[in-house]
Amino acid sequence: MNAAVATVTLNPALDQTITLDRLRPGSVHRARAVRVNAGGKGINVAACLADWGVATAALGALGRDNAASFDALFAARDIVDRCIRLPGDTRTNVKLVEQETGWTTDINLPGLTLGGVEFDMISAQLADVLRPGMPVVLAGSLPPGIADDAWARLQAQASAVGARVVLDTSGAPLAAALAAPRHARPYAIKPNRHELEAWAGHALPDRAALLGAARGLLARDIGLVAISMGADGALFVRGDDALLARPPRIADGSSVGAGDAMVAGLTSALLDELDLEALARRAVAFAVAKLGCEGARLPQPNVVHEYAAATVIERLA
Ligand SMILES: Nc1ncnc2c1ncn2[C@@H]1O[C@H](COP(=O)(O)OP(=O)(O)OP(=O)(O)O)[C@@H](O)[C@H]1O
Ligand SMILES: O=P(O)(O)OC[C@@]1(O)O[C@H](CO)[C@@H](O)[C@@H]1O
């Protein structure tokens, strides 16, 4: 199968979600429930895209010793498995969900150490799937052993063949990717508000500040900026157009993976060459739809279409 989209996850994870009444640091807890899902940002994006019917290849590095959940996910969703396997275990990230408050506490581990050889193997896998115009999602943190410019380097590789990079990362790797030469910058980025504030180095307290930051990024040749703001929705800015998209319903419980579903929706909209409003509706609808499901999963397309139609759009001057 020729993939229409590729996702790269350099630091995937098994997500262990533990439900508690309430987190009380320093005390013994009796968990209500636990589940484990194959995850990591790019893997989650691939899973949502596959549910939407987009032929997707997942690239990255998995530990050989606990790869079964990933193998099962790829097989069940028809995701093209382009992940290299390394000795050892993929990290397990712990998500503590409090029933009383609805809060989630994430404990994300560092992950398997990768070296230059492994990075080159992943880059070779990417070279093999890249096509002009193809959306390529680069997502998540970088594992130990990988330099901060890893996303910037894969971005340059993808841009060189005319692929469109959708970047979702934070901290130093985001800064390095945005500082790349103009022709090798990402086509689209989806920071959440806090990630963008960290990159900007100051608070972005209101809509005007967020819009200003987004326009500053467009001026650096980023084609599309989506700033997610949790239950408040997201700001989408492209060219002269800017809008705020609010979810049609507020979901309870863990919001883990909502951002990844949003990236998947945005990516599918790029494939379909949607205009900005339709893209924003699609992206928010994917996120809201995912919030009703366990793990990285979308419900039937008609549910997503209903959420897209009900997403509230406000055009910004
Ligand atoms: N409680 C909620 N109810 C409805 N929609 C939500 C809620 N939380 C998030 N969303 C939707 O999901 C989108 C992405 O959420 P968020 O801003 O939390 O992303 P994120 O920080 O990248 O998430 P994560 O890293 O946990 O996947 C939001 O823009 C919004 O559309
Ligand atoms: O440590 P990173 O790479 O920043 O984030 C990893 C992670 O929190 O992201 C996904 C949710 O977005 C989870 O599946 C996974 O555990």
**DSSP of 152-165:** HHHHHHHHHTT-EE
| Mean pLDDT along residues 224-240 | 97
Active-site residue, 260 included: yes
For the cut 80, the answer to whether the pLDDT of residue 1 exceeds it is no
Taking all residues of the chain, what is their mean pLDDT, rounded to a whole number?
A: 96
Q: For residue 80, how far is its CA from the centre of ligand 2 (angstroms)?
A: 21
Structure tokens given for 302: 């008609």
| Mean pLDDT along residues 56-72 | 98
- Supply the pLDDT for residue 29: 96
| Mean pLDDT along residues 233-240 | 97
Instruction: Indicate if ligand 1 lies below 6 Å from the C-beta of 227.
Output: no
- Supply the pLDDT for residue 122: 98
For the cut 90, the answer to whether the pLDDT of residue 292 exceeds it is no
pLDDT tens by residue, 30-61:
999 999 999 999 999 999 999 999 999 999 99
Helix, strand, coil: what percent of the chain each, to 5? 40, 25, 35
Residue with tokens 């990079």: 165
pLDDT tens by residue, 149-188:
999 999 999 999 999 999 999 999 999 999 999 989 999 9
- Using pLDDT thresholds of 50, 70 and 90, give the confidence band for residue 317: confident
Q: Where are the domains of the chain?
A: 5-23+33-315
**94-124: string of b/e by CB count within 10 Å (b at 16+)?**
bbbbbeeeeebeeebeebbebeeebbeebbe
For the cut 80, the answer to whether the pLDDT of residue 95 exceeds it is yes
- Supply the pLDDT for residue 129: 98
- Supply the pLDDT for residue 251: 87
Strand blocks (E) in 64-218: 80-86, 92-98, 104-107, 135-139, 164-168, 188-189
User: Which ligand 2 atom lies nearest to the CA of residue 40?
Assistant: 14
For the cut 90, the answer to whether the pLDDT of residue 255 exceeds it is no
Ligand 2, from 10, 108, 194: best to mutate by most atoms within 8 Å of Cβ?
108
- Supply the pLDDT for residue 301: 96
C-beta separation of 133 from 110 below 8 A: no
For the cut 90, the answer to whether the pLDDT of residue 285 exceeds it is yes
Q: Length of the chain, please?
A: 317
27 burial (CB, 10 Å; 0-12 / 13-18 / 19+) is exposed
Ligand 1, from 168, 249, 250, 262: best to mutate by most atoms within 8 Å of Cβ?
262
For the cut 80, the answer to whether the pLDDT of residue 219 exceeds it is yes
CB-based contacts of 272: which residues, under 8 Å, 6+ apart?
none
Instruction: Indicate if ligand 1 lies below 6 Å from the C-beta of 159.
Output: no
The domain defined by 5-23+33-315 folds into UDP-N-acetylmuramoyl-L-alanine:D-glutamate ligase (3.40.1190)
Q: For residue 41, how far is its CA from the centre of ligand 2 (angstroms)?
A: 5
- Supply the pLDDT for residue 204: 97
Strand blocks (E) in the chain: 5-9, 13-20, 33-39, 56-63, 80-86, 92-98, 104-107, 135-139, 164-168, 188-189, 224-228, 234-238, 241-246, 312-315
Antiparallel, parallel or unpaired: β 312-315 and 241-246: antiparallel
One-letter amino acid at 316 equals: L
- Supply the pLDDT for residue 252: 81
Structure tokens given for 15: 């997500």
Beta-carbon neighbour count of residue 21 at 10 Å?
13
* ipTM for the assembly: 0.98
What percent of the chain is predicted at pLDDT more than 70? 100
For the cut 90, the answer to whether the pLDDT of residue 80 exceeds it is yes
| Mean pLDDT along residues 227-252 | 96
Instruction: Indicate if ligand 1 lies below 6 Å from the C-beta of 118.
Output: no
For the cut 90, the answer to whether the pLDDT of residue 253 exceeds it is no
For the cut 80, the answer to whether the pLDDT of residue 135 exceeds it is yes
